[in-house]
C-alpha cells in the first residue's frame, strides 16, 4: 500500500513516527440462550456477581489513575461506575432476565446498545462520550460473566503508535506504560475524554480520524502529528525523512522554551502583561506552574460536571476550587461560573434539545431560571477564596441589567454566609466575559459595573461572523483575524482602560502566534492560554517591543477583509519569528 494521508482533529501536541499498534474494541462473543423459569433467580445472581467484579475492576483502575495523574482525571471513571448503580440499567437487565428468560450476557448487550444508540443519536460530543461509556461498561460486564477477565489494549511490548477505533477511559492506563508514543483514534473531538486525557498525559494525539482502523489494517508504519491533526499511513521514505526533521525541530523548539519559564511575559522595552492559563480540570494546576503561568485566567468550572457526570454539591465544588486556588497561590485564579448549554450539555441538568443551543438557554441564562445553581456555586467560590487570590467571572453577559442582577445575587450570598458565620473572602474581584457582540459594543457602559473584562473570542467570533464554531463545513469562514472581530476587541480594550479596569483575552486566539503582536499592540493586559501554549506565547512576547506592537496594531486598521489582515499578520510574523512550529506544519514544508 502506498502512502495515505488522513486528517483528524489535533488533540494533544507533538509529532511521533513509529510502528502501528492496531486495536479495535471488538464486541465480546457470547451465546444467546433461554433460561428456565426455575433458574432465573440464579441468573440474576450471576449478573449481580459480575456487577461486583466490574465495580472492583473500575475502582482499582481509578485508583491507579488517581495515583499517576491525579483525582480529577481519574474521575472520568465515575461516569462508568455510575452506570453500574443506575436503576435504569441494572434493574432493567434484572427484569428482562426474570420476565423474558434471556441470559444475562444478551440482556446487557441489548440494553447497552439501546443506550448507546440513544446517546449517539443526540450528536453532541458529551453524549457521544456517554454512548462510549455505556458500551465500555457493557462489554466489561459481558466479559466478566464469561470469565474472560479484562481485555483492553496492550501491554505494548515495544514502542509503538496506537491506532484505534476509540480510546476508552479503561484503556488509558496503558498509555502510562511509556511504550505508547502517540495515539490516533477514529472517534472523539477536541473536548472528548480522549483529548483531555492525552493532553494531561502529554501523549501526542489526533482524534476523529475517519475509517482509521480499516485503512490501517496492513500498515506497518505511521506518523501522527498532534500539532496539525495529520495522520500518515505507510509514509514514504521521503515523508519519513521530512517528518523526522520536523519532529527534531519541534523537540528542539520545545527544549529551547524551557529557559524562559521563570521569566516574566515582558516586551523588550519593559511592557509587562500577565500570561495566565486556561484550565478545565483541577489536575492541570501542575502544568500551569511548571510552564510558568502567571495564574489561571480562566477556570472553565463546568468541566466539574463532565468529570463527575453529575451536579457537584457545594462541598465538592468548594474542595475543587480550594485545591486549585491553594495550588497556584499567591498567583490569582479566575473562576468562571458554569457555562452550561451550547456544546456543554450534561444529562443531570435537564437542558432541552434546542435548535440553536449556542444561542439558547446557556450560561447565566440558565442561572436566572435556576438561581440555586448559581448561589451554590458562589457560596463554594467565596468560601474557597480564603485560600488565595480569587476572581469570579460571569460568561455570556449581554447587558448592564444582567450584570447588576448577578452582582445582586453575589451580595445576597455574601450576606447569607456572614449570617451563617461561615468563613469566606468577600473581597473577590468580579468580572465578565465579553463574548457577545452586544457586550463588546456596550463595553463602555459595562466597564463601570465590574473590576475586569475578559474577551472570549471563541464565541465573539462565531456571533460577529454568524459562523458556528463547531461546524466543519464552514470552518474556513471562522476567522478571529477578521477586521470586525479586531474592531470589537479594540473597542473593548479602550472602553475598559478608559474606566480604569484591566482587560484580558482568554479565547483560543490568545494562543494563536499570528495574533500575538496584534493583541499586545491593542493593549491587552492579560492573555490566557492553554498551559501547553504558555511558553511559546511568552517567547513571542519577550521577542517584540511594545512600540513595534502598537505600530503593527495601527497598521492592521487599513485592512478591509479577513484574508488581507490574515496575510499581513502571517507575512510579518513569518519574517519576525521564522522558528515557530506553525511554519513547519504539514502545509508549510520548509
Report the C-alpha gap between 139 and 27 in whole angstroms: 7
Q: Minimum distance from CB of 300 to ligand PEP (Å)?
A: 5
456 binds Mg ion (CB under 5 A): yes
129 binds Mg ion (CB under 5 A): no
390 binds, among Mg ion, ligand PEP, none (CB under 5 to 8 A by kind): none
Binding positions for ligand PEP, 324-363, rule CB under 6 A: 339
Backbone angles phi, psi at 428, to 5 degrees: -95, 145
- Please report where in the chains the cell 466543519 appears, as a residue: 472
Q: Minimum distance from CB of 478 to ligand PEP (Å)?
A: 12
Q: Minimum distance from CB of 508 to Mg ion (Å)?
A: 10
Give the DSSP letter string of 302-345. Answer: THHHHHHSS---HHHHHHHHHHHHHHHTTS-EEEEPP--BTTB-
Of the candidates 230, 229, 215, the residue with the CA atom closest to the CA atom of residue 22: 215
Report the C-alpha gap between 492 and 490 in whole angstroms: 5
DSSP single-letter state for residue 82 = H
Catalytic residue among 25, 139, 506, 569: 506
Among 284, 459, 508, 536, binds Mg ion (CB under 5 A): 459
Looking at beta carbons only, is 43 or 435 nearer to ligand PEP?
435
Of the candidates 461, 135, 76, the residue with the CA atom closest to the CA atom of residue 303: 76
Concerning whether 506 is annotated as a catalytic residue, the answer is yes
506 binds, among Mg ion, ligand PEP, none (CB under 5 to 8 A by kind): ligand PEP
Q: Minimum distance from CB of 506 to ligand PEP (Å)?
A: 5
Looking at beta carbons only, is 293 or 456 nearer to ligand PEP?
456
3-state SS class at 131: helix
435 binds Mg ion (CB under 5 A): yes
- The contacts of residue 555 (CB under 8 Å, 6+ apart) are 568
Looking at beta carbons only, is 203 or 489 nearer to ligand PEP?
489
457 binds, among ligand PEP, Mg ion, none (CB under 5 to 8 A by kind): ligand PEP
Catalytic residue among 116, 139, 174, 193: 193
Question: Residues binding ligand PEP: what is the number (CB under 6 A)?
Answer: 10
139 binds ligand PEP (CB under 6 A): no
300 binds, among Mg ion, ligand PEP, none (CB under 5 to 8 A by kind): ligand PEP
Angle between helices 87-100 and 40-69 in degrees, nearest 10? 160
Looking at beta carbons only, is 8 or 395 nearer to ligand PEP?
395
- Please report where in the chains the cell 507575512 appears, as a residue: 571
Q: Minimum distance from CB of 357 to ligand PEP (Å)?
A: 12
Read off the C-alpha cell for 492.
473593548
Give the DSSP letter string of 423-483. Answer: ------EEEEEE-SHHHHHTHHHHGGG-SEEEE-HHHHHHHHHT--TT-GGGGGG--TT-H
Q: Minimum distance from CB of 469 to ligand PEP (Å)?
A: 8
Concerning whether 193 is annotated as a catalytic residue, the answer is yes
Looking at beta carbons only, is 193 or 300 nearer to ligand PEP?
300
Backbone angles phi, psi at 13, to 5 degrees: -70, 160
Cα 161 off chain centre by: 23
DSSP-assigned beta bridge partners for residue 162 = 21, 183
Note whether 138 and 105 are within 8 A (CB): no
Looking at beta carbons only, is 25 or 300 nearer to Mg ion?
300
Q: Minimum distance from CB of 278 to Mg ion (Å)?
A: 11
- The contacts of residue 25 (CB under 8 Å, 6+ apart) are 135, 136, 139, 164, 165, 166, 168
25 binds, among Mg ion, ligand PEP, none (CB under 5 to 8 A by kind): none
| Region near Mg ion per CB under 5 A, out of 64-72, 427-435, 511-519, 556-564 | 427-435
Pairing status of strand 221-225 against strand 205-207: unpaired
Note whether 262 and 539 are within 8 A (CB): no
Q: Minimum distance from CB of 64 to ligand PEP (Å)?
A: 31
Q: Minimum distance from CB of 206 to ligand PEP (Å)?
A: 21
Looking at beta carbons only, is 18 or 395 nearer to ligand PEP?
395
- The contacts of residue 486 (CB under 8 Å, 6+ apart) are 518, 522, 556, 565
3-state SS class at 363: coil
Looking at beta carbons only, is 298 or 540 nearer to ligand PEP?
298
- Please report where in the chains the cell 450560561 appears, as a residue: 363
Of the candidates 203, 215, 205, 164, the residue with the CA atom closest to the CA atom of residue 186: 164
Draw the binding track, 482-521, toward ligand PEP (x: CB under 6 A; -: no contact): ------------------------xx--------------
302 binds Mg ion (CB under 5 A): no
Draw the binding track, 291-330, toward ligand PEP (x: CB under 6 A; -: no contact): -------x-x------------------------------
DSSP single-letter state for residue 119 = H
User: Computed from CA positions of residues 64, 66, 67, 68, in that sequence, does the dihedral angle turn out positive or negative?
Assistant: positive
Looking at beta carbons only, is 80 or 276 nearer to Mg ion?
276
309 binds, among ligand PEP, Mg ion, none (CB under 5 to 8 A by kind): none
Query: Which residue's beta carbon is nearest to the bound Mg ion?
Result: 459
Binding positions for ligand PEP, 429-468, rule CB under 6 A: 435, 456-459
Interacting residues with ligand PEP (CB under 6 A) = 298, 300, 339, 435, 456-459, 506-507
Query: Could you list the active site residues?
Result: 193, 506
Interacting residues with Mg ion (CB under 5 A) = 435, 456, 459
Amino acid at each position: 500500500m502506498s502512502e495515505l494521508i488522513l486528517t483528524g482533529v489535533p488533540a494533544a501536541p507533538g509529532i511521533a513516527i513509529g510502528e502501528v499498534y492496531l486495536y479495535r474494541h471488538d464486541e465480546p462473543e457470547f451465546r444467546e440462550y433461554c433460561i428456565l423459569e426455575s433458574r432465573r433467580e440464579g441468573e440474576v445472581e450471576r449478573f449481580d456477581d459480575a456487577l461486583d467484579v466490574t465495580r472492583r475492576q473500575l475502582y482499582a483502575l481509578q485508583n491507579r489513575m488517581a495515583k499517576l495523574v491525579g483525582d480529577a482525571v481519574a474521575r472520568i471513571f465515575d461516569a462508568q461506575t455510575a452506570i453500574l448503580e443506575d436503576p435504569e440499567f441494572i434493574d432493567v437487565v434484572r427484569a428482562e432476565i426474570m420476565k423474558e428468560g434471556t441470559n444475562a450476557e444478551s440482556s446487557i448487550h441489548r440494553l447497552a446498545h439501546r443506550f448507546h444508540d440513544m446517546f449517539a443519536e443526540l450528536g453532541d460530543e458529551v453524549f457521544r462520550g456517554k454512548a462510549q461509556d455505556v458500551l465500555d461498561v457493557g462489554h466489561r460486564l459481558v466479559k466478566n460473566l464469561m470469565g474472560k477477565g479484562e481485555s483492553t489494549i496492550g501491554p505494548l511490548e515495544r514502542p509503538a503508535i496506537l491506532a484505534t477505533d476509540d480510546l476508552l477511559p479503561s484503556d488509558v492506563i496503558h498509555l502510562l506504560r511509556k511504550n505508547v508514543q502517540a495515539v490516533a483514534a477514529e472517534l472523539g473531538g477536541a473536548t472528548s475524554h480522549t483529548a483531555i486525557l492525552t493532553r494531561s498525559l502529554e501523549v501526542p494525539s489526533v482524534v476523529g480520524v475517519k475509517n482509521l482502523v480499516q485503512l490501517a489494517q496492513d500498515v506497518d508504519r505511521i506518523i501522527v502529528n498532534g500539532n496539525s491533526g495529520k495522520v500518515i499511513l505507510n509514509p514514504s521514505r521521503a515523508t519519513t525523512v521530512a517528518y523526522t526533521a520536523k519532529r527534531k525541530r519541534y523537540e528542539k523548539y520545545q527544549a529551547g522554551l524551557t529557559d524562559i519559564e521563570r521569566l516574566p511575559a515582558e516586551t523588550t522595552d519593559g511592557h509587562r502583561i500577565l500570561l495566565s492559563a486556561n484550565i478545565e480540570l483541577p489536575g492541570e494546576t501542575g502544568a500551569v506552574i511548571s510552564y510558568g503561568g502567571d495564574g489561571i485566567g480562566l477556570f472553565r468550572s463546568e468541566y466539574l460536571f463532565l468529570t463527575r457526570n453529575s451536579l457537584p454539591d457545594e462541598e465538592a465544588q468548594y474542595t475543587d476550587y480550594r485545591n486549585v486556588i491553594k495550588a497556584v497561590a499567591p498567583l490569582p485564579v479566575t473562576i468562571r461560573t458554569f457555562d452550561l448549554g451550547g456544546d456543554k450539555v450534561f444529562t443531570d441538568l435537564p437542558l432541552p434539545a434546542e435548535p440553536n443551543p449556542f444561542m439558547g438557554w446557556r450560561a447565566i441564562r440558565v442561572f436566572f431560571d435556576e438561581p440555586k445553581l448559581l448561589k451554590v456555586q458562589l457560596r463554594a467560590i467565596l468560601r474557597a477564596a480564603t485560600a488565595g487570590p480569587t476572581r469570579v467571572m460571569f460568561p455570556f453577559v449581554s447587558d448592564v441589567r444582567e450584570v447588576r442582577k448577578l452582582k445582586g445575587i453575589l451580595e445576597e450570598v455574601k450576606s447569607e454566609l456572614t449570617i451563617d458565620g461561615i468563613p469566606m473572602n468577600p473581597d473577590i474581584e468580579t468580572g465578565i466575559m465579553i463574548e457577545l457582540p452586544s457586550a463588546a459594543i456596550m463595553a463602555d457602559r459595562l466597564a463601570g459595573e465590574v473590576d475586569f473584562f475578559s474577551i472570549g473570542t471563541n464565541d465573539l467570533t462565531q456571533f460577529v461572523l454568524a459562523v458556528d464554531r463547531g461546524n466543519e463545513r464552514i470552518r474556513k469562514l471562522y476567522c478571529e483575524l477578521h477586521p470586525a472581530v479586531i474592531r470589537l476587541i479594540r473597542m473593548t480594550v479602550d472602553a475598559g482602560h478608559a474606566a480604569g479596569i484591566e482587560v484580558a483575552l482568554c479565547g483560543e486566539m490568545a494562543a494563536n502566534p499570528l495574533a500575538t503582536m496584534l493583541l499586545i499592540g491593542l493593549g491587552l493586559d492579560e492573555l490566557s492560554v492553554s498551559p501547553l501554549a504558555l511558553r511559546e506565547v511568552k517567547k513571542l512576547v519577550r521577542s517584540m517591543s511594545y512600540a513595534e506592537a502598537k505600530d503593527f496594531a495601527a497598521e492592521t486598521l487599513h485592512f478591509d477583509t479577513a484574508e488581507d489582515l490574515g496575510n499581513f499578520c502571517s507575512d510579518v510574523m513569518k519574517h519576525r519569528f521564522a522558528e515557530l512550529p506553525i511554519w513547519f506544519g504539514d502545509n508549510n514544508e520548509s
